Structure 1
């Protein structure tokens, strides 16, 4: 270019900056100065806006701007400098530069408000916005977008509603960018109902509006509703983009309905999005959750430019099925130059056996992830799962500072499992802000230790800290009521569940309620809860059968067992112990022996010692000593002392000489 001027140089600098080529921009800047052109505000702002510029280069440009008087001439350079500091996370430098600026434009204020919002400094964001209101007669749409983006949590909702009122007053409610920010604000402030109401009242929506709201529904645990709005979006003529499809695939993953996800997959292929790394990773996760690992791996192979996220999605899919492929996938990932992160290790640790675990631990130490919260928690859990409890608890002993809440809860859970009650209390008592998991472990530990009074004292203290019980809390409390057979206390806990949240009466809690009412002698309540349940599992049936048997309703228990089989539930070893116990208490020898035969012939369950205990007790207490002795002799493993004691207890009812000789043989055997 023969006739160069400052405008052409500034244009070139700006072009290089947009292409994130900071060195190209610097070269043009140097050539410009070599030609004798002094940099203008546009020259410096062009370089400062480059995403690849580091703090050192930014500092040099700031010094140059001050030296040439450009920093004080107008707000253009200073505003660009705020953008640089914000991108690099240098909030204190940004604040200092902002305070030093003699001239601040509306754009400058908007940049500072957005910077505070981006870095989660909500209070500073609010203060700056109020100061802007005091200084400026009119605001722009970016002013509202900036302040709204910083609001998150219920405490910010009131201020957000005030901003919403100001938006309406200022006439910006129909600006789609501002409206999208309002939807996002209500979502972030945990008020999905208000977000939905506002969204449905929007006059103009774009794909960002739909993505924001549909994504909020998916995160809120309403995947079916998210799908409904997705189809409504299509009916309204708004075309989905990659972000939309990622959200909807995540909803399909939550629902685990293959046909829906396959339909979305087909739409992605039609639009040419299937090789996109974000959509591909979402599809990998979807097919894995639908137990289709072959299709999951095929989607992974189809991703054009893989990244750590896509590798993690694949590893998580295999890990969720306890696959041994995870270790080889990690090796492949590292060979191809991808560095595993904390999510990679957290996923692979779920499916690792004891040998792999030791090797992974060494790799984690070498890569510096041992003290990462996610990895440490996963390591402790995996060590415990593989029976390596000393290795899991070593993190507690080796840590020179208090553990974070998650690993503390894991360690306390391990201590509780092995009966170290005092260690459990000692570890959790130092936590400044215990969460619901902490309280649940404490309640379980006290219940296990027989300290039932302390269990309900813990409940009182937990409620005082405004932490509300979940289903695990109620299971722990109801188990105590079952143990002490306290119907009044159990009924009160049942009432508290309904008062707190009726949705907490899930299958898990209802199973324990059936057991509690049964052990407290209130069989009508057990049957009522069972009959009202819409989602029953094998434990539900077993709990009811046990409750009926304990309360003398043996024939009803047998009928429920047959009904359970008819509905396709396959009894396990625990279910058979329940029905053997029913037969034992009712003296149903013939029925008990038939169930014992069917346990192995129909369901392939090999009898264990507990099953033999029940059957020998059934036979012996009903005078069938010879049959009981034959059953003991047929065992595939040596009888224990308890089974002979059961046999002898049954023999006490006998008075015949033959029975006395049987007793003599038993004594000799023992």
Structure 2
């Protein structure tokens, strides 16, 4: 155009600036420079285009500077400024700009209000949303479709109730596909999946074609409902309308199938997708992680690399979670290095993932360093740090971290109190635990959930306050589930209370007769009470019902390979050397006069096999990290303590959410491992 000597005008630059908003600030600054060189007069239309471009390029200082270059402003320029602040997560600045706009005499339009309402949705501020709603009513814009859509979305996302959102929706004359999508997604979020499906069918009956976000929302409802048939039916409809080529829909299908445990179907969807991105693989990895297949989740990294899909902060945190679940320090440290090189370390979710990783792998000093590097820790950061301290046996430090969290102004959530109650339970701090439990509602306005009552019963049960624990069950506002009965049955076994244990076992079996844990715990209770006849009867009933105990497994990572061990299993290629190592250790115990009674029934438990293999396969001073899927028994716990008296090694053993760090004949649990 310039070569042909055609002089560009303001509309030319408006279009060029719009394109630059997608391409990046280097393009935008070049176009801006040409405007100055060519002497294009800066009017309100061009200022609006420049503000929009700089906002999209995350350069709000430049956007504000441009808007202030001339005094002329209109509602479109102000709306562009509002939108820019919100795009850049500067909600306070956006609200201040709205007030300044009104004070300057310019009346906000429908787009101004919908922009601010979208900000309320993003920060989940119901109070602010209601204030904006009152202004909308005064301005007479309630019937506007864009404002109505923003209000519906805001109330669905910010309120615990759906009444206000439904009131707004029903007051709209002609809801469009965006309105229906907000309604469908909102119903799913609040647990009304049936209403979500009903609304979807009603929308289609009105002749409105769903868009990709509608379909991804309804697929989310399928996943929440765990409905295989609805998911497959919806998949068929998606293929019929040729929407399966859309990456948003494809990603939602992957998440829905993987969320239902249908991993092969999820992989099939991925193979058929024309294009895949980080969300595709993050959805699959997250769901596989939730199923407990952490090694398979880590394998997804290879597929991402093969597809040339770059990790983002969400995928990185998902892989860090997999490494933490697997107890793979090698994979975790590699991910840590990559996060630093790729610049993903600055993501808060990645930093939180590192705190979780090191805490679960028993590296509490590294967890502390990772936590200390977070500029502004959020509630998830603090929860990860408190969890790491509590699970590694640093009870007083965990509770101090909770108080530090409150002092810096971060509000605890439901997870925080679960961790605090767990710490009190592990530390035997009954009175303090009760104080924290009651403070949830009285001080923090948080209603305890069923999980919190489980922790409270565990706390009282471990301390031998079985009547008080029973009183909690009778008075709590929830119907007891199997875990409640299992927790008090474990406490009854610990303290030898046969009548209470029998009652808990009976109620638990009535509720879930297929859970083998009830029969095993009851049999162990009888064994401890010297009633071997009743013990055999409980185990016989379990056999009659075709139930088997979940095999106890331990695993250890050696040179990037995970080695699994099961009690009495001889499939490992080095099993003979492992058995010889265990025998030689026990011989050394006797030679040194250690009081260890060799229990042949427990000689080859999975954790002993893993410890022996770790001693054979790792450098002489390196720490050994072992993960176990069940609680360590007292015999094995004592065995590992004695091993660390023989050899100068640290042995870290994680069982669920508890980490045992064995050093020089001592354990970080200090003998509080009560249930075996």
TM-score, shorter chain, exceeding 0.5: yes
Match among 297, 301, 304 for residue 267 of structure 2: 297
Give the CA deviation at 1:205: 0.9
1:373 matched residue in structure 2: 348
| Structure 1 position 470 matched with structure 2 position 443 | no
Q: Quick one: distance in 1 between partners of 2:445 and 2:473?
A: 29
Match among 392, 396, 403 for residue 368 of structure 2: 396
Question: Which residues of structure 2 form unaligned runs of 5+?
Answer: 553-596, 605-632, 636-676
1:418 matched residue in structure 2: 392
Q: 1:396 to 1:137 in 2, by over 3 A?
A: closer
More helix by share: 1
Which range moved further: 135-144 or 416-425? 135-144
Q: 1:396 to 1:467 in 2, by over 3 A?
A: farther
* Alpha-carbon contact 1:518-1:548 (below 8 Å) kept: no
1:164 matched residue in structure 2: 136
Q: Quick one: distance in 1 between partners of 2:550 and 2:236?
A: 47
Match among 427, 431, 445 for residue 449 of structure 1: 427
Q: 1:430 to 1:268 in 2, by over 3 A?
A: same
SS of equivalent residue, structure 1 residue 96: helix
Give the CA deviation at 1:324: 3.7
Match among 273, 281, 288 for residue 311 of structure 1: 281
Q: Give runs of aligned pairs for residues 27-106 of structure 1, distance below 5 A.
A: 28=1, 30-32=2-4, 35=5, 37-50=6-19, 51-52=21-22, 54-63=24-33, 65=35, 70-72=40-42, 74-106=43-75
Give the CA deviation at 1:142: 2.8
SS of equivalent residue, structure 1 residue 430: helix
1:553-602 C-alpha deviation (Å, 9 max, x unpaired): 95x986986786687623535543335536976x8664444334555685
TM-score (norm 2): 0.69
TM-score (norm 1): 0.70
Q: Which has the larger radius of gyration?
A: 1
1:121-164 C-alpha deviation (Å, 9 max, x unpaired): 33443444344445557654333333433334023033222222
Q: Quick one: distance in 1 between partners of 2:60 and 2:109?
A: 23
Q: Quick one: distance in 2 between partners of 1:173 and 1:104?
A: 25
Q: What root-mean-square deviation, in Å, do the aligned CA atoms of Structure 1 and Structure 2 show? A: 4.2
1:230-262 C-alpha deviation (Å, 9 max, x unpaired): 122223332212211111001111111101111
Number of matched pairs: 545
1:229 matched residue in structure 2: 199
Q: Quick one: distance in 1 between partners of 2:445 and 2:294?
A: 37
1:627 matched residue in structure 2: none
* Alpha-carbon contact 2:348-2:374 (below 8 Å) kept: no
| Structure 1 position 409 matched with structure 2 position 383 | yes
Give the CA deviation at 1:178: 2.7
Q: Quick one: distance in 2 between partners of 1:549 and 1:363?
A: 42
Q: Quick one: distance in 1 between partners of 2:245 and 2:484?
A: 44
Q: 1:77 to 1:569 in 2, by over 3 A?
A: same
* Alpha-carbon contact 1:117-1:125 (below 8 Å) kept: yes
Q: Give runs of aligned pairs for residues 390-539 of structure 1, distance below 5 A.
A: 390=363, 393-397=365-369, 401=373, 404-405=377-378, 406-431=380-405, 432-434=408-410, 435-436=412-413, 437-459=415-437, 466-471=444-449, 472-482=451-461, 517=467, 533=479, 536-537=481-482
Q: Quick one: distance in 1 between partners of 2:456 and 2:209?
A: 51
1:609-658 C-alpha deviation (Å, 9 max, x unpaired): xxxxxxxxxxxxxxxxxxxxxxx99973589999xxxxxxxxxxxxxxxx
Question: Which residues of structure 1 form unaligned runs of 5+?
Answer: 1-27, 487-515, 609-631, 643-670
Q: Quick one: distance in 2 between partners of 1:464 and 1:536?
A: 25
Match among 498, 514, 531 for residue 570 of structure 1: 514
More strand by share: 2
| Structure 1 position 331 matched with structure 2 position 302 | yes
Q: Quick one: distance in 2 between partners of 1:641 and 1:401?
A: 38
* Alpha-carbon contact 2:440-2:446 (below 8 Å) kept: yes
1:317-365 C-alpha deviation (Å, 9 max, x unpaired): 4333306433443123213322222332333344448685404522440
* Alpha-carbon contact 1:346-1:378 (below 8 Å) kept: yes
Q: Quick one: distance in 2 between partners of 1:58 and 1:635?
A: 76
Q: Quick one: distance in 2 between partners of 1:298 and 1:333?
A: 15
2:120 matched residue in structure 1: 151
Q: Quick one: distance in 1 between partners of 2:532 and 2:309?
A: 65
SS of equivalent residue, structure 2 residue 310: coil
1:200 matched residue in structure 2: 170
2:315 matched residue in structure 1: 344
| Structure 1 position 636 matched with structure 2 position 606 | no
